[in-house]
Amino acid sequence: MAKVTGRPDCAAIVRPASDPRFGDYQANGIMALAKQLKISPRKLAEEVVARLDLGDICEPPEVAGPGFINLRLKPQHTAEQLLRINADQCDRLGITPVPEAQTVVVDFSSPNIAKEMHVGHLRSTIIGDAICHLLEFLGQKVIRQNHVGDWGTQFGMLIAYIYRHAMVAQGDGALLITTVLDLTDIEGMYREAKRLFDTDPQFVEESRRFVVSLQSGDKSTLEDWTLICDKSLAECQTIYDRLGVQLLRNDVRGESFYNDKLPAVVADLENLGLAVKSAGAVCVFPPGFKTKEGEPLPFLIQKSDGAYLYATTDLAALRYRVNVLKADRIVYVTDARQIQHFQMLFKVAEMAGWNRRDGRTVELAHVTFGSVLGEDGKPLKTRAGENVKLRELLDEAIERARAVVEEKNPDLPPAQKGKVAEAVGIGAVKYADYSNNRTSDYVFSFDKMLAMDGNTAPYMQYAYARVKSIERKAEGKGVNIPAELGGIGSLDLEEPTELDLGKHLVRYAETIEAASADYRPNYLTAYLYELAQKFSAFYTECPVLDAPAARRPTRLLLCDLTARTIRHGLSRLLGIQVVEQM
Ligand code: ARG
């Protein structure tokens, strides 16, 4: 396009074709360019096509409609790509890492502790985890940050409650917390404490006292606080482990960590002339934000009683991530209700120049998601109207998965049934979440997510197990798969279903890139689902074990790459276990 028009800045905008009848890809950039240049798009397209040399990659391109250029890959090109992927011994499926790694801080999960994790924490935890894996796989240096809510009034309340109701003297609390209570009790106490806080002014006073002694570093209060946090975090850790989420204690850098960095945030913003006093409080007014009444909207960083806020901590955390962790990019994964908070945070950081290091701008991204709804279309709650605990949700998923496994394969040895049920149950919860467009709400349904057909975890896990069973059968017949695939020099993709599956396998790389660029795991699940379907079509048409000797290597390779790709996508990128047999 540049050669034809003399404009170096024009983009071809090549996208996968919407309809396979028109080829594999289509270039959509002609129309916009023709409009700019005020020439006929069709003519421009024809001129571009006349000069386009795609050599061995594509068949001669065609102009379609008002000025699209349709591209169809040559089977030979697909065959070469498949051989290249097959030859990759590093379990990277031929995908090369980015040449220059960025340091990317990913802030995810981040529950408020002192309460058990509930369904509201599911999405940030697993979407964040998938984003980390995608980025890491593509070669970025990822620093996970679990920005837990571990500071503030709620801890004052909790400690005050423990001393008031557990009839222990201050100083004995530690003993009480370690020996008697588990987290469920702490959560029950938290609820009670909150109730008291809303009704009993004296309790409010007591709680404040503890907040103050916590903030001033009082030893015994800090000890109690540490114990509560430890208990809570240990409980979170069991959930992360069960979910297969790679988040460790070391990744926890909670709000409390920034406590001593908050006065400087306020002072520095004041010195920059950005923070102003307004009705006793300190705030910044980033341009472009208005209240409902059309007044400038404040970003509050210190209350009139001197207390700091969520926003202040986030500013301190941002500075830490930019300057100490040396982030080139920071990704925040939270629900969509926090959109405005992060828009304002990013704006204030920019006004203060805190999003820059060594003359370079650090990229700030807010990755949002919708709510998990019950079958009634309202946010998922228990019958009693409480938040659904993740622990219980996962227990139920595994229990229900067990019934599915029982029905599908009653002859599986019991120990294996248990393993498969766990993989399917947890996998189903995660996959259902991933497969929805993250910005929409979705309805949580065990029946749907555990269905053996449709875009679900069990369907994908079964597809994987099926390919593996073909491979086992081949080996049973004396075929040495690694030897057969290792020595393979050429492929012929004669059957349409072979070619179709082959082309799709080659597209794994671009799918991962797109999923990572847009932070959207559903691109990956959609790809995997399509892969399983194309595999089915291929396997229906093309015998593998009974294939003519000359065709068998190609077909075995298609099987093997399908299995490797599903396993890579599910297990390595989405943290969903595959099973060899189910
Ligand atoms: N703890 C917060 C919540 O439960 C989420 C924190 C997200 N991260 C952040 N840096 N603000 O809503």
Q: Which residues of 478-503 are buried (b: 16+ CB within 10 A; e: fewer)?
A: ebebeeebeebeebebeeebbbbbbb
- In this structure, is the dihedral angle defined by the CA atoms of residues 285, 289, 293 and 298, taken in order, positive or negative? negative
Q: Residue 272: what pLDDT?
A: 98
Q: Residue 560: what pLDDT?
A: 96
- Which residues approach ligand 1 with their CB closer than 6 A? 107, 110-112, 147, 149, 314, 317, 332, 334
| 183 within a domain of the structure (yes/no) | yes
Q: Residue 498: what pLDDT?
A: 97
pLDDT-derived band at 180 (thresholds 50, 70, 90) equals low
Domain of residue 225, residue span: 152-247
281-284/299-302 β-pairing: antiparallel
Cα 538 to its chain centre, rounded Å, is 31
Q: Residue 464: what pLDDT?
A: 98
Structure tokens at 313: 């901590």
Answer yes or no: is pLDDT of 575 > 80. yes
Answer yes or no: is pLDDT of 182 > 70. no
Atom of ligand 1 nearest to the CA of 334: 7
Atom of ligand 1 nearest to the CA of 121: 4
* pLDDT tens-place string over residues 523-550: 999 999 999 999 999 999 999 999 998 9
Cα 456 to its chain centre, rounded Å, is 17
Report how far ligand 1's centroid is from the alpha carbon of 147 (Å).
6
Q: Which residue has a Cα nearest atom 4 of ligand 1?
A: 111
Structure tokens at 208: 């404040």
Give the residue from 343, 321, 347 showing the smallest Cα distance to 334. Answer: 343
Report how far ligand 1's centroid is from the alpha carbon of 449 (Å).
28
Q: Please say whether the beta carbons of 345 and 299 come within 8 A.
A: yes
Give the contacts of 8 (CB within 8 A, at least 6 positions apart).
Answer: 2
Report how far ligand 1's centroid is from the alpha carbon of 148 (Å).
7
Give the residue from 150, 233, 164, 157 showing the smallest Cα distance to 191. Answer: 157
pLDDT-derived band at 3 (thresholds 50, 70, 90) equals confident
State the alpha helices, DSSP H only, in 542-579.
Answer: 552-567
Report how far ligand 1's centroid is from the alpha carbon of 236 (Å).
15
Q: Please say whether the beta carbons of 365 and 131 come within 8 A.
A: no
Q: Residue 311: what pLDDT?
A: 97
Q: Please say whether the beta carbons of 188 and 223 come within 8 A.
A: no
Which has the higher per-residue pLDDT, 184 or 127?
127
Q: Residue 458: what pLDDT?
A: 97
Give the contacts of 307 (CB within 8 A, at least 6 positions apart).
Answer: none
| 255 within a domain of the structure (yes/no) | no
CATH number of the domain enclosing 545? 1.10.730.10
* pLDDT tens-place string over residues 317-328: 999 999 999 999
Going across the sheet that includes 25-27, the strands are 14-16, 25-27, 68-71, 62-64
Atom of ligand 1 nearest to the CA of 342: 11
Q: Please say whether the beta carbons of 430 and 327 come within 8 A.
A: no
Residues 461 and 561 both lie in one domain: yes
Q: How many beta carbons lie within 10 A of that of residue 281, not counting itself?
A: 17
Residue 103 backbone phi and psi in degrees, to 5: -90, 120
pLDDT-derived band at 171 (thresholds 50, 70, 90) equals low
Report how far ligand 1's centroid is from the alpha carbon of 527 (Å).
31
Structure tokens at 314: 């986030």
Among residues 223, 247, 271, the one where a domain terminates is 247
Report how far ligand 1's centroid is from the alpha carbon of 213 (Å).
24
Best residue among 110, 145, 387 to mutate for probing ligand 1's pocket (most ligand atoms within 8 Å of CB) is 110
Average pLDDT over residues 184-202: 87
Residues 461 and 567 both lie in one domain: yes
Q: Residue 109: what pLDDT?
A: 98
* pLDDT tens-place string over residues 223-259: 889 888 988 899 899 999 999 999 999 999 999 999 9
Q: What percent of the chain has pLDDT over 70?
A: 97
Please state, in angstroms and rounded to a whole number, the distance separating the CA atoms of residues 195 and 190. 9
CATH number of the domain enclosing 6? 3.30.1360.70
* pLDDT tens-place string over residues 102-113: 999 999 999 998
| 34 within a domain of the structure (yes/no) | yes
Report how far ligand 1's centroid is from the alpha carbon of 296 (Å).
24
Q: Which residues of 553-579 are buried (b: 16+ CB within 10 A; e: fewer)?
A: bbbbbbbbbbbbbbbbbbbbbbbbbbb
Please state, in angstroms and rounded to a whole number, the distance separating the CA atoms of residues 126 and 330. 17
Residues 462 and 564 both lie in one domain: yes
Please state, in angstroms and rounded to a whole number, the distance separating the CA atoms of residues 581 and 477. 18
Among residues 217, 247, 277, the one where a domain terminates is 247
* pLDDT tens-place string over residues 53-70: 888 888 888 898 888 889
Q: Residue 101: what pLDDT?
A: 98
Q: Which residues pair with 68 in a beta bridge?
A: 64
Atom of ligand 1 nearest to the CA of 338: 12
pLDDT-derived band at 186 (thresholds 50, 70, 90) equals confident
| Residue 247 C-beta-side C-alpha neighbours within 13 Å | 33
Residues 569 and 461 both lie in one domain: yes
Q: Please say whether the beta carbons of 430 and 576 come within 8 A.
A: yes
Best residue among 334, 341, 366, 369 to mutate for probing ligand 1's pocket (most ligand atoms within 8 Å of CB) is 334
Report how far ligand 1's centroid is from the alpha carbon of 481 (Å).
49
Residue that the structure tokens 């790389």 belong to: 509
Best residue among 105, 147, 340 to mutate for probing ligand 1's pocket (most ligand atoms within 8 Å of CB) is 147
Radius of gyration of the CA atoms of the chain, in A? 28
Best residue among 125, 338, 367 to mutate for probing ligand 1's pocket (most ligand atoms within 8 Å of CB) is 338
pLDDT-derived band at 370 (thresholds 50, 70, 90) equals very high
Report how far ligand 1's centroid is from the alpha carbon of 309 (Å).
12
Q: What percent of the chain has pLDDT over 90?
A: 71
Q: Residue 413: what pLDDT?
A: 94
Report how far ligand 1's centroid is from the alpha carbon of 419 (Å).
34
Average pLDDT over residues 13-23: 84
Domain count, the chain: 3
Q: Residue 174: what pLDDT?
A: 64
Please state, in angstroms and rounded to a whole number, the distance separating the CA atoms of residues 336 and 288. 19
Among residues 209, 225, 247, the one where a domain terminates is 247
Whole-model pTM: value is 0.93
Answer yes or no: is pLDDT of 393 > 80. yes
* pLDDT tens-place string over residues 475-490: 999 999 999 898 898 9
Give the residue from 517, 516, 152, 147 showing the smallest Cα distance to 332. Answer: 147
Amino acid at 300: L
Please state, in angstroms and rounded to a whole number, the distance separating the CA atoms of residues 306 and 29. 56
Average pLDDT, the chain: 92
Give the residue from 450, 456, 378, 377 showing the smallest Cα distance to 408. Answer: 450
| 95 within a domain of the structure (yes/no) | no
Residue 75 backbone phi and psi in degrees, to 5: -55, -35
Q: Residue 428: what pLDDT?
A: 98
Burial class of residue 42 (count of CB atoms within 10 Å of its CB; 0-12, 13-18, 19+): middle
Atom of ligand 1 nearest to the CA of 120: 4
Q: Which residues pair with 361 in a beta bridge?
A: 356
Q: Which residue has a Cα nearest atom 11 of ligand 1?
A: 314
Atom of ligand 1 nearest to the CA of 335: 12
Report how far ligand 1's centroid is from the alpha carbon of 110 (Å).
5
